[in-house]
Amino acid sequence: MIKVRGLSKFYGEKAVVEKVDVDIHPQKITSFIGPNGAGKSTLLSMVSRLIDIDSGEVIIDEDRAKDIPSSEFAKRVSILKQSNFMNVRLTIRELVSFGRFPYSKGRLNEEDERFVDQALQYMNLEEFEHRYLDELSGGQRQRAFIAMVIAQDTEYVLLDEPLNNLDMKHSVQIMKILQKLVEDLGKTVVIVLHDINFASVYSDRIVALKDGRVVKDGPTEEIITTEALQDIYDMDIPIHEIDGDRIGVYFKS
């Protein structure tokens, strides 16, 4: 379990994240949703120690995050951010092998190779493992990065808007994979999402942020309601139940 306690981040005078308390439940998918500028990515970056914390603390399985050495942290929590430009020419296999860096420091042993093979197999990337990243489509590249995180074999997998720039087919593919990571491998997934319906269909819990504060936090069915979404987005979103899923029809709200 990751416990976030009183976490704040200021840029100058302005608080982008203010006194946030959140519990990330193990072996669940937790989605962070909220309008643009709500502080979702900042919160995720602070939890994964990519940016410094101004006040408050993050506790990972009883250990304070700031007390965990960086190389040790990389074996427990992984974070995938949307990198806007990737012009490094690596093959998929090379990239996935770097997921083992926290363990092997670059010299892969047999166990590391096995993890890499499994990750590639899991993501169906074996046939193009020797292709360069810059020769792949957006969906394939995203899968390659997720394969790397799988090879990194951390209990917690944090993803910042992994569906950006992906079409419907690939978005669904990625979400299904994340679901499998939780069900098959027992991972804990935290994901920043923009589409409330992806959050509704795939997550176990939802944390909604607005103006740097948590406005809603709970099981998915409690958050995907017209009233709760009104508080989060200031939009009147009717919710329809379709085949057991709660779908918000926000296009004309």
Burial 157-166 (b: 16+ CB within 10 A, else e): bbbbbbbeeb
Q: Based on the shown chain and the rule CB under 8 A, indicate whether residue 49 belongs to the binding site for another protein.
A: yes
Q: Which of residues 182-241 bind another protein (CB under 8 A)?
A: none
* Distance in angstroms (rounded) separating the CA atoms of residues 6 and 41: 17
Helix, strand, coil in percent for the chain, rounding step 5: 40, 30, 30
Applying CB under 8 A, does 88 fall inside the site for another protein?
A: yes
Query: Of 19 and 49, which has the nearer Cβ to another protein?
Result: 49
Q: What values do phi and psi take at 227, rounded to 5?
A: -65, -50
Q: Considering the rule CB under 8 A, would residue 162 count as an interface residue with another protein?
A: no
- Which residues lie closer than 8 Å to 193 by C-beta, 6 or more apart? 31, 32, 33, 161, 163, 199, 203
CB of 64 to another protein, least distance (A): 17
The interface region with another protein, picked from 44-52, 170-178, 204-212, 215-223 by CB under 8 A, is 44-52
Residue 49 CA to residue 57 CA, distance in Å, equals 11
Figure out which of the listed residues 42, 142, 152, 200 binds another protein, where binding follows CB under 8 A.
152
Residue number with CB closer to another protein (85 or 251): 85
List of residues contacting another protein (CB under 8 A): 45, 48-50, 70-75, 78-81, 83, 85-91, 94, 98-99, 101-102, 105-106, 132, 152
